[in-house]
Amino acid sequence: MKTNSSRLLFAASLLLIMLSVYFSVLHIQTARQNQENNILQSEINSIRYGLLNADEWKHNLAGIISKKIEEFELTEQNKEQLKTQIEDLLYGLLDQVNKILRDDMGKIKQFLMDAFVDLDKLRENVPQLSENLLEELGKPHNKNNLKELTLQKLDSYVEETFNNDEQLKLQQILEKHGFQNKEEATTVLEQRIKRDTKKLRNYTFAISGLLLVVFLLNFFGENRKTKWGLFLLLLTSLIFLINGLAVPMIDIEAKISRINFQLIGENIHFGNQVFFYQSKSILDVVWILISNGQADMIFVGILIFTFSVLFPVTKLISSFLTIHSPGRFKSGRFIRFFTFKSGKWSMADVMVVAIFMAFIGFDGIISDQLEYLTNTNKYIEVVTTNGTSLQSGFYLFLLFCLTGIFLSLAIQKKNQQGKSG
């Protein structure tokens, strides 16, 4: 009866592990896809393409200028003021012309100009000219001409003053991924991220639940004394490790969700301005450090790989050999070290604590800086978002550390029972 129940438990555990492997494949694929979408969204919505981009300011200013010109109407209150300003401008121009005629031209040319150009007469006509200009200014077609001229000057100023490389880079990114504009890209990517985030949460719960059930049943059940029961414990740790290494552990994000302020009576709005975003798994960090090319970065990358990847994998391989052939490998120092004593050297648990402390530190620093930005100016409405969060890779790597500890205990207990038997 005990044999049948053990076989049934083994078969059920194997089925649950196969399901967890299936969900793990989906989990890793979805996590990578979600990571790419998040990075792309943060790049498209980077502050250098928005609040710090001259083309975005040109777009906002063009809208304000067009609106102000369209809304412009001559009234009794502003007519006299505008007339005075135009008259002052015309008088100033005539004074400049007179100075040029007197100072920069020869006597013969001066005589001819005095004969044909009556500046005093022009001065007398300045009020009438001002009236005529005001009348022309109020006509609809002249408003459109003024608008076009002003916008052309604005375009010319932006092109001459600011570098347009960033805008070209953004356009290339949008075209590469098949988006027409920034708004379309943001909407589509937000939908994808929301969908994939929900999937990742479900996959994480499914993997954790299935593997923990397998681990607990075989650690406390009848199979804890059998070789196959230990193999099942080892498989659960291995699946936790693969998931923990392959998917991001932490997301660090700081952005302005919304910033509003008034400019010449009109509202200026910028939304979703990303300052910083990073999402990395342990393998991502190792690859970035090693591919950096600098000796110190390569050294750090090798250390992280050794203690957080190589040691845990070697521990699992050694555990497998110890379970499979305990008599053959029980005297091997290398195998015994990695099976029972490598936990304190692998630093996997230290990595978990370091990631958690980094999360707390980054979360606090970013929150403080964003709060300072929010309270900087009472005339500017700033809504900031701290998107720093622990990801599924952290929790699954944590579960690997815990199951790895209990796996070593189970193997050690099995060996002790074998000796006593």
Q: Three-state DSSP class for 74?
A: coil
CA distance 196 to 391: 13
Q: Which residues of 192-207 are buried (b: 16+ CB within 10 A; e: fewer)?
A: bbeebbebbeebbebb
Which pLDDT belongs to residue 1? 41
For residue 115, give every residue at least 6 positions away whose Cβ sits within 8 Å of its Cβ, in sequence order, or none.
Answer: none
Note if the pTM is more than 0.75: no
- Amino acid type, 416: Q
Rounded Cα distance between 73 and 78, Å, is: 9
Q: Provide the residue ranges of all domains of the chain, joining segments of one domain with +.
A: 2-19+201-420
Query: H or E stretch including 264?
Result: none
Question: Parallel, antiparallel, or unpaired: how do β-strands 250-263 and 389-390 relate?
Answer: antiparallel
Return d(Cα 219, Cα 233) in angstroms, integer.
7
DSSP state of 261: E
What are the distances in angstroms from CA 115 to CA 69, 93, 110?
Answer: 41, 20, 9
- Using alpha carbons, select from 177, 185, 201 the residue that is nearest to residue 30: 201
Tens place of pLDDT for every residue, the chain, 421 residues? Answer: 456 777 888 889 999 999 999 999 999 999 999 999 999 999 988 888 877 776 777 666 766 666 666 666 656 666 666 667 767 776 777 677 666 656 654 554 455 455 545 556 666 766 776 676 666 666 666 656 665 666 666 566 556 555 567 778 888 888 899 888 888 999 999 999 999 999 999 999 999 999 999 999 988 877 777 888 888 999 999 999 999 999 998 888 888 777 777 766 677 777 788 888 888 888 888 888 888 778 888 888 888 888 788 888 888 888 888 777 665 555 566 666 666 665 555 555 556 656 666 666 656 666 666 566 566 666 666 666 777 788 899 899 989 988 988 888 887 777 666 555 4
What pLDDT score was predicted for residue 283? 86
**Phi and psi of 132, rounded to 5°?**
-65, -40
Cα–Cα distances (Å) from 320 to 18, 287, 323, 365, 411, in that order, read: 19, 28, 5, 44, 10
List beta partners, residue 271: 258
Alpha carbons 320 and 76: distance in angstroms, whole number = 94
- Tokens encoding 164: 């347009």
**Which segments of 45-139 does DSSP mark as H helices, in order?**
54-71, 76-104, 107-116, 119-124, 126-137
Joined together, the tokens standing for residue 336 give: 């015994």
Distance of alpha carbon 267 from alpha carbon 346, whole angstroms: 57
- How many whole angstroms separate alpha carbon 68 and alpha carbon 265? 10
User: Could you give the C-alpha distances from 290 to 42, 87, 155, 302, in angstroms and in order?
Assistant: 25, 72, 45, 7
Predicted pLDDT of residue 108: 45
Residues 30, 33, 36, 39, CA torsion sign: negative
